[in-house]
Chains A and B, each alone.
Chain A
Amino acid sequence: MTAAVPNTAAENEVMIELRGVNKWYDKFHVLKDINLQVAKGERIVVCGPSGSGKSTMIRCINRLEEHQKGQIIVDGTELTSDLRQIEQIRKEVGMVFQHFNLFPHLTVLENLALAPMWVRKMPRKEAEAIGMQYLERVKIPDQAKKYPGQLSGGQQQRVAIARSLCMSPRIMLFDEPTSALDPEMIKEVLDVMIELAESGMTMMCVTHEMGFAKTVADKVIFMDRGQIVESNPPEEFFNNPQNERTQLFLSQIIGH
């Protein structure tokens, strides 16, 4: 596998910026002073124990969750409660979920063509052509006419990735994309993600697939109890973890 392209964040524009972001669920302080910059083309892997706030953090970036304090700036637009700005940002930010969340009442191709047609106002023919193009990229063009329920988990997740890509997003967010999959299917999804990463897409990925992190990540972030504990390039992160909490986490994961 080719080594990750060296981090050239300094000379690139900033795509995602979180400044002092705080969030509470009722009284539970789930995100504490998160500061983070993601440059264009950068690939970030976020890991950490469950309940550490990693999913919440990336769900704040496309406003599936609302932050209560601090600033989130995505592609130059600040996220506020302004609906038009939220929709504008969501057009540019694709998201892949743990449970795929394909639309079960639509065929695979309809799932793919829906957003380009209704959000980007593309004619059906063109939207479906784009859909087919991405289905080929995730290597399941023969499933276009099937319903999501007829596909395996790995295939569904690849369709979900293709569905996001059909909107030609500038940023892709992945929220534990392989945690609901059988071990046999994880690889096919990771292969698609690795290919996507190598094409230069800006990516933020919550995952525990450390192999994926080592292969493609520019930076690995470790979160615990709502805070970013450590943020380093993968070699540094895996070989020389600074924080005690990170060392413990890594020893548990790699111990398997």
Chain B
Amino acid sequence: MSHDFAPLPDLPPPASSVGVIGWLRRNLFSNTINSLLTLFAIYLLATLLPPLFNWLFFDADWIGDSRDACTSGGACWVFISARFSTFMYGFFPENETWRINLIYIALIACMAPLFMEGFRHKVKLGVFVIFIFPIFGFILLFGGVFGLEQTETSQWGGLTLTLLLASVGCVAALPLGIMLALGRQATNMPAVKSMCVLFIEFWRGVPLITVLFMSSVMLPLFLPEGVSFDKLLRALIGITLFQSAYIAEVVRGGLQAIPKGQYEAADALGLSYWKKMGLIILPQAMKIVIPGIVNTFIALFKDTTLVIIVGLLDVLGMVQNALNDPNWLGYSTEGYVFTAFVFWIFCFSMSRYSQALERKLHTGHKR
């Protein structure tokens, strides 16, 4: 071997294609039409943004406790701060709101290690948060034991109710949805399969608002006299079943994306059905469907506002309730902007978290 292979040296790219100038040229002024569109967009931003920011921040009233403080013509954030506690806690007894705060703090304290790299007991803690923590939370919210004053579920409201509905809906619907997806794939058990198909197609076919309405108005008609169960519980069950059908379909998509060889390799090693699914198929399938699952979670989070039609007042319901207060008539814009902001924060966080999760779980092993 006398002739060694010598590759040519790498050269730098031409100057006009890199750096700020290169970026501007590529993205904003690549041709005449794009240049015109860029200029038009700049004009729109310049005319719309200043008045918006003036209204939101610079001309807004922040301090005070009644509408008399709102004189400057901008947004009246006094309305929000004056009614803030009802937006957060609903009609929960005022001197008991520490219980809700305690739940939030405890939940954050429990969840924080789950997001930390290198924490060893994630699975145990996760099981605790999903199975034990809700009991603790329920006792704190409902009271009636350990000297805690008992509250009615009709007093639960505001953001607390929104978070309760959304988290119970998501956490309870996920395992149910996975089971439904597996059932729908079970071609060797036609009875199970058709039951799952029937369930999924029924719940996907009806609007959530109908589900809530039925659970609150029609269900009591079918129950024997004297038997009644809580309105909130009925709404929660309705939301969970509804959500599980959507999750089932998302998970099914993931199951279908797993190559047949994975099933065969697991079978060939002698793994039973549940071990095959739990150790091999679902970990891969769930990773694929994270965006889809989070998408349904976000949709559910926003759909919880529909509980207003059965008389449960979530954060939007509480805002609307406050707008009917004669002292605060006419501040609906502020109320809705605030509500939108609250929802946006939660939905955006969920979206970012799902992206981070995808990156973390992507171990660079695409086949």
Q: Are B264 and A118 in contact (CB under 8 A)?
A: no
Q: B52: shortest Cβ distance to chain A, in Å?
A: 47
Q: Are B272 and A101 in contact (CB under 8 A)?
A: no
Contact status B365-A149, CB under 8 Å: yes
CA distance A100 to B275 in the complex (A): 20
Chain B, 270-296, contact with A by CB distance < 8 Å: what is the 0/1 string?
Answer: 111001000110011001000000000
Interface of A is mostly: mixed
Size category of the B interface is 20 to 34
Is A114 a contact partner of B272 (Cβ separation < 8 A)?
no
Whether B271 contacts A118 by the Cβ 8 Å rule is yes
> B327: which A residues are within 8 A, CB to CB?
none
* B210 CB-CB contact with A under 8 Å: no
Question: A95: nearest residue on chain B (CB-CB)?
Answer: B268
Let me know if B363 is at the binding interface, CB within 8 A. Answer: yes
| Chain A residues numbered 84-104 whose CB sits less than 8 Å from any CB in chain B | 87-88, 90-91, 93-95, 97, 99, 101-104
The answer for the CA separation of A88 and B287 in the assembled complex, in Å, is: 31
Contact between B264 and A64 (Cβ–Cβ < 8 Å)?
Answer: yes
B17 contacts A by Cβ under 8 Å: no
Q: Which 5 A-B pairs have the closest CB atoms?
A: A149-B365, A101-B265, A90-B270, A101-B261, A104-B365
The interface residues of chain B, by DSSP majority, are classed as helix
Q: Please name all residues of chain B whose beta carbon is closer than 8 Å to the beta carbon of A68 when the two chains form the complex.
A: none
Chain A interface size range = 20 to 34
Neighbour of B267 across the interface among A64, A94, A149, A164, CB < 8 A: A64
Q: Are B270 and A87 in contact (CB-based, < 8 A)?
A: yes
Chain A residues within 8 Å of B, Cβ to Cβ: 62-64, 87-88, 90-91, 93-95, 97, 99, 101-105, 114-115, 118-119, 147-150, 160, 163-164, 167
In chain B, positions 184-201 with a C-beta closer than 8 Å to chain A are: none
How many pairs of A and B residues are in contact by the CB < 8 Å rule?
Answer: 74
Report Cα–Cα, A215/B80, bound state, in Å: 84
User: Does B364 lie at the interface of the complex (its beta carbon under 8 Å from any beta carbon of A)?
Assistant: yes
Question: Could you tell me the distance between the alpha carbons of A62 and B271 in the complex, rounded to whole angstroms?
Answer: 13
Which residues on A sit within 8 Å (CB–CB) of B275?
A: 118-119
Measured between alpha carbons, how far is A63 from B279 in the docked complex, in Å? 21
In the assembly, what is the distance between CA of A12 and CA of B269, in Å? 26
B residues 311-367 near A (Cβ < 8 Å) are 363-367
Question: Which B residues are CB-close (under 8 A) to A63?
Answer: 267
Q: Give the chain B neighbours of A119 by CB distance below 8 A.
A: 269-271, 275
Q: Contact check: which of A88, A97, A105, A163 meets B363 at CB < 8 Å?
A: A105
Determine whether the beta carbon of B268 is less than 8 Å from that of A87. no
Report B-chain residues with C-beta under 8 Å of the C-beta of A93.
Answer: 268
